Each structure stands twice: as structure tokens, then as C-alpha cells.
């Protein structure tokens, strides 16, 4: 019959030393990977910030164009109203001249 004898302290320490060496090598490998990941995250953050600034500028420009278009529409409505008023005034003036000419009989004398 075989009995399980406890592992010697030296053997246990040797096994633990090997484990710690392996863990240390793995940490160093992961440290390099982490550095690369941090650099990539930093670059992505800069790109997102640039994109965000571009979107902000685009939003501002679109708002300016929208405001300008609203002003243009308002000015066009005012211009149409003024054109209608001017047309009515010209028509009234032409009518007044026409009536004056009819009264003069076309020869500059007033018909009674």
C-alpha cells in the first residue's frame, strides 16, 4: 500500500518559484500589449475629439445657413409686398396720366 507523503518544502518552493517566473514573464508580455492598447485608445480618443469638433462646426454652419435662409424668406416676403405696393402705385399713376390725357383730348387742351 502506498501512502501519500507530503511534498517536501524544497520541492514546493521550487514549484512556486517556477510559477512566479512564468507569471512574471506573462505580466511583461501583457504589459507590452497594454502599452499598445493605451496608445490605440489615446489615438481613438483624439480622433473622436476631432470628429466631435467637426460635427460641432458642421452643426453651427447648418444653423447659420438655416438662419440665413429664414432671413432670405422673410426679406423675399417683404420684397413681394413692396413690389405689389409699387405696382399698384404705378398703375394708379398710369391711370391718372391716362385720365389726364383723355381730358385734354390728346392735344393738351382740356375738354369741357
Q: Rg (Cα) of the chain, in Å, rounded?
A: 47
**Strand (E) or helix (H) holding 17:** helix 9-104
pLDDT tens figures, 4-45: 778 888 888 888 889 888 888 888 878 888 888 899 999 999
User: What does the domain layout of the chain look like in residue ranges?
Assistant: 12-85
| Grid coordinates given for 98 | 391716362
Number of Cβ atoms within 10 Å of the Cβ of 98: 10
pLDDT of residue 107: 60
CA 65, CA 54: separation in Å to the nearest integer? 16
Buried-state track 35-57, b at ≥16 Cβ within 10 A, e below 16: eeeeeeeeeeeeeeeeeeeeeee
Amino acid at each position: 500500500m502506498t501512502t501519500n507523503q507530503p511534498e517536501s518544502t524544497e520541492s514546493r518552493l521550487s514549484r512556486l518559484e517556477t510559477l512566479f517566473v512564468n507569471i512574471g514573464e506573462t505580466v511583461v508580455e501583457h504589459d507590452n500589449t497594454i502599452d499598445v492598447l493605451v496608445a490605440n485608445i489615446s489615438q481613438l480618443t483624439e480622433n473622436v475629439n476631432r470628429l466631435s469638433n467637426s460635427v460641432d462646426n458642421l452643426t453651427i454652419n447648418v444653423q447659420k445657413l438655416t438662419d440665413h435662409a429664414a432671413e432670405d424668406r422673410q426679406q423675399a416676403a417683404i420684397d413681394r409686398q413692396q413690389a405689389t405696393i409699387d405696382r399698384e402705385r404705378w398703375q394708379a399713376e398710369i391711370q391718372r396720366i391716362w385720365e389726364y390725357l383723355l381730358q385734354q383730348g390728346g392735344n393738351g387742351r382740356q375738354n369741357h
